[in-house]
Amino acid sequence: MNLSPDQTIIFAAWGIAINATVFFTWIVMGILGLASFLITRNLRPDVPPNRWRTMLEVIVQRIQGQIEEIAQGPSRYLLYYAGTLFLFVAMSNLLLVVPGFQPPTASLSTTTALALSVLIAVPIFGITSRGIGGYLKTYLEPSFIMLPFNIISEFSRGISLAIRLYGNIMSGAVIAAILLSVAPFFFPVVMDVLGLLTGMIQAYIFAVLATVYISSATAPPSPQLEPQEDIS
């Protein structure tokens, strides 16, 4: 039993081995891209929305509502980024119910890449919102002594994101394989339901944590309290 889709080679092209992680990542990207194109191809005011467009609008509005709740204000660009993370992770995990599908999020390389994208996005959003000087100043808060600790904290966030997502998805796949070998006629239904639930929860947690990290980098600096005058 392969513990990671990295160990499964699907095919080789021009001497390059394409493993299951890359192959199924392409499938997830293709499904999301094709679904977005088909749903939004007639996105005009004179065309009434169908049920697929309505469902997509509900999902986007829910994601936007969560982001504005966390960020304490509108953030369209954050919606694009966090929404993409949520849809990719959710679709990768939901397709686990398809026989033969190996979720790319069960690979440490995929979760590390997602975590690295968050680490890169945090300073980009922070600099865009507060400027280079304003963002770099956050590493010196509350004092310059905290600089190394703030840097370590920044990288530990990415490590925790990658390990958390990888551990939960990989452990679920291993447990499912063990239970299916014990009772192949009963546990598939139970594991499919648990897989759907776990996949949605992990996608939600990952997107929310990314939103929290970016929101903390883009938040305006808290005003310092001025000392009160002695009136005695």
Q: Delimit the domains of the chain by residue range.
A: 5-218
The DSSP 8-state label assigned to residue 231 in this structure reads: -
Q: Determine contact, residues 213/85, Cβ cutoff 8 Å.
A: no
The secondary structure element, H or E, covering residue 13 is strand 9-13
Per-residue pLDDT, 232:
43
For residues 43-53, average pLDDT: 75
Per-residue pLDDT, 49:
75
Q: Which pLDDT band holds residue 226 (cuts at 50, 70, 90)? A: very low
Q: Which residues contact 85 (CB under 8 A, 6 or more apart)?
A: 114, 117, 118, 203, 206, 207, 210
pLDDT digits (tens, 9 = 90+) for 143-196: 778 788 888 887 787 777 777 777 766 666 666 666 666 655 555 666 666 767
Most confident of 22-26, 39-43, 162-166: 22-26
Q: Which pLDDT band holds residue 30 (cuts at 50, 70, 90)? A: very high
List alpha helices for the chain, DSSP H.
20-40, 51-71, 76-94, 108-137, 147-182, 187-218
The mean pLDDT value of the chain amounts to 78
For residues 167 and 173, give the distance between their C-alpha atoms in angstroms, rounded to a whole number. 10
For residues 205 and 39, give the distance between their C-alpha atoms in angstroms, rounded to a whole number. 26
